[in-house]
Structure 1
């Protein structure tokens, strides 16, 4: 018997309805004012980056994104996937 709070039970990918995904995507396209890649030196003295996404009232930071081919669709997809889990 597995425990209900175990990480193994949460590892299953939650699916989102395509129509709902498109609505979220349209909403986020309207709400995001700008995004920019921030370069910094991490605690191990290594070069790192994160993406700062600016909304009207708040800013979120997205880490571990490939910034070479970054675009708004990738950012929106990442935001949606991270909040659906």
Structure 2
């Protein structure tokens, strides 16, 4: 039997209101120092890439993001959407 108050038993809310989204967007615009595309050869000898996002104290790697038209806004959107899943 699991704990009824445990976070793992609660469904995560995937919807966020516009004001919260804009607040997060402004926060990340201030906190992100830099981002870059990293190209590599995966285990199947195929070209692949990810985006490395640099913050002051840590680095976040984003996979499955379109690197052709990469902007700060698309990076921020990917970070927000990945954390809402």
Same fold (TM over 0.5): yes
Q: List gaps (5 residues or longer) in structure 1.
A: 1-9
Structure 1 equivalent of residue 83 of structure 2: 83
Across the aligned residues of Structure 1 and Structure 2, the Cα RMSD in angstroms comes to 1.5
1:58 partnered with 2:61: no
1:42 is matched with which residue?
42
Aligned to 1:18: 18
Offset at residue 84 of structure 1 (A): 1.2
TM-score by length of 2: 0.83
Instruction: Give every structure 1 segment of 4 or more consecutive aligned residues whose post-TM-superposition deviation is greater than 2 Å.
Output: none
Q: Which residue of 2 aligns with 1:72?
A: 72
| Consecutive unaligned residues in structure 2, runs of 5 or more | 1-10
Supply the distance in 2 between the matched residues of 1:36 and 1:50 (Cα, whole angstroms): 8
* Count of aligned residue pairs for this structure pair: 75
